[in-house]
Chains A and B, each alone.
Chain A
Amino acid sequence: MEGESLILSLKEFALSTGSACTSASLQSSYVLRAIGVPESLAHCSLRFGLGRSNTAEHVDLLVERLKSSVAKLREMSPLYEMAKEGVDIESISWTPHRH
């Protein structure tokens, strides 16, 4: 699932994504691209911010909330549907970039 749509449902946690969709520039993270992450995956990246005030319970809560959000977004994703059907997403000729 796409990063922004995931962190949007988890606003009380310190999360960020390399997805272009959260930045004004609409470019995916240059750091992720520099380390060889394909653009399609960079949009799905997630960064967790933890501090000394966080507890194991906070992490457990986050994992639970993440699980349900991921399940909901996967249900909504045409790419997940294709992957389940065994379609190779890289083999499809997608509409060219518009931005």
Chain B
Amino acid sequence: MDITSEYTEKVMDHYEHPRNVGVVENANGVGVVGNPACGDVMKLTIRVEDNRIVDAKFKTFGCGAAIATSSMVTEMVKGKTIDEALAITNRTVAEALGGLPKVKMHCSVLAEDALKAAIDDYRKRLAAGEQA
């Protein structure tokens, strides 16, 4: 059974033309989640200024759905405040892509986890008194 035939046009668009690939220069929040043994690892770097995410980039090792959700989440968080970004869930990312095949929903969890990890890292750095 070929699951990839169930990908929406939006998923294929983000897979073929991923947005914001790379690493943010002067990032002040980094989240790395996943496991190579599971077939997906995502690294999200963000730049936060005045409590707002001004830049976000990703690098992802994973299937088409993992790449598409990574790309979509970077688009969704840009310009959002920390609190607004924390309201993003794997479901809202999947919905923004027009949905995902049922067995691929776990890929969108990777995007949510990476976002939470990056924000967590930012807050830890802030608490440690690192200059933003």
Contact = CB atoms under 8 A, between A and B. Distances in A.
B15 interface: yes
A22 B3 contact: yes
Q: Is the interface of A mostly helix, strand, loop or mixed?
A: loop
B103 A24 contact: yes
B36 interface: yes
Interface of B: 1-4, 15-16, 18, 21, 23, 32-43, 59-67, 103-104, 106, 109, 113
Given A1-B61, A89-B36, A76 B67 contact: yes
Contact of A94 (B23, B36, B60, B106): B36
15 contacts: A2-B61, A5-B64, A5-B66, A5-B67, A20-B38, A21-B3, A21-B62, A21-B65, A23-B1, A23-B3, A24-B3, A43-B39, A76-B18, A79-B61, A81-B43
A98 interface: yes
Interface of A: 1-2, 4-5, 7-9, 19-24, 26, 28, 38-40, 43, 75-81, 89, 94-99
Given A19-B39, A20-B39, A76-B67, A2 B103 contact: no
A81 B63 CA distance: 17
Contacts, number: 100
Contacts of A79: 36, 41, 61
Contacts of B15: 5, 8
A65 B18 CA distance: 18
**3 closest residue pairs by CB, A with B:** A21-B63, A43-B39, A40-B36
Contact of A78 (B18, B61, B103): B61
